Amino acid sequence: MCKKDHSIYSCPSFLELSPGDRLNRVRKINACTNCLRQGHTVKDCKSKFTCRKCSNRRISLLHINKNNTNEDISRTTNTIQICRFAISSKSTSTC
Ligand SMILES: [Zn+2]
Ligand SMILES: [Zn+2]
Ligand SMILES: [Zn+2]
C-alpha cells in the first residue's frame, strides 16, 4: 500500500479510496478480502468477521453500496465529455 508502518486497514491512503478501488487494491496485493491479510484467500480465512452491512464474508471497508453505483457512470460521462471537447477543439482526435 504505502511504505509507512501500519496495516492496510489503518492506512489513510487506502481509506480515502472508494470501496471498489479498495477491493481492487486488496486483490492486486493478493490479500484476503475478509481480513485484509496477505497469504490466504477469503475461502481459507479463519477470521469470523463478516461485513457489518450485508453479512457477506468481506470486510465492511470493501462493502459496495448497491445504491452507490453512479460512480462508474459519472466517470464514463466525464470521459465522454473530455472526448467531445477534444473533438470540438481539434479537428483530428485520437479518441
Ligand atoms: Zn499507509
Ligand atoms: Zn482472511
Ligand atoms: Zn457488505
pLDDT of residue 67: 65
CA of 59 to the centre of ligand 1 (A): 18
Neighbouring CB atoms inside 10 A of 38's CB total 11
User: Taking the model in full, what pTM does it have?
Assistant: 0.62
Place of cell 471497508: 61
Closest CA to 23 of 11, 10, 36, 39: 36
CA of 57 to the centre of ligand 3 (A): 8
How far apart, in whole angstroms, are the C-alpha atoms of residue 79 and residue 69?
17
How far apart, in whole angstroms, are the C-alpha atoms of residue 50 and residue 54?
8
- pLDDT (tens, 9 = 90+) of the chain, 95 residues, equals 678 888 888 899 999 999 999 999 999 999 999 999 999 999 999 998 889 989 899 999 999 887 655 555 555 555 555 555 555 555 555 55
Relative to the alpha carbon of 63, which ligand is closest? 3
pLDDT of residue 66: 74
Relative to the alpha carbon of 49, which ligand is closest? 2
CA of 47 to the centre of ligand 2 (A): 6
pLDDT of residue 20: 93
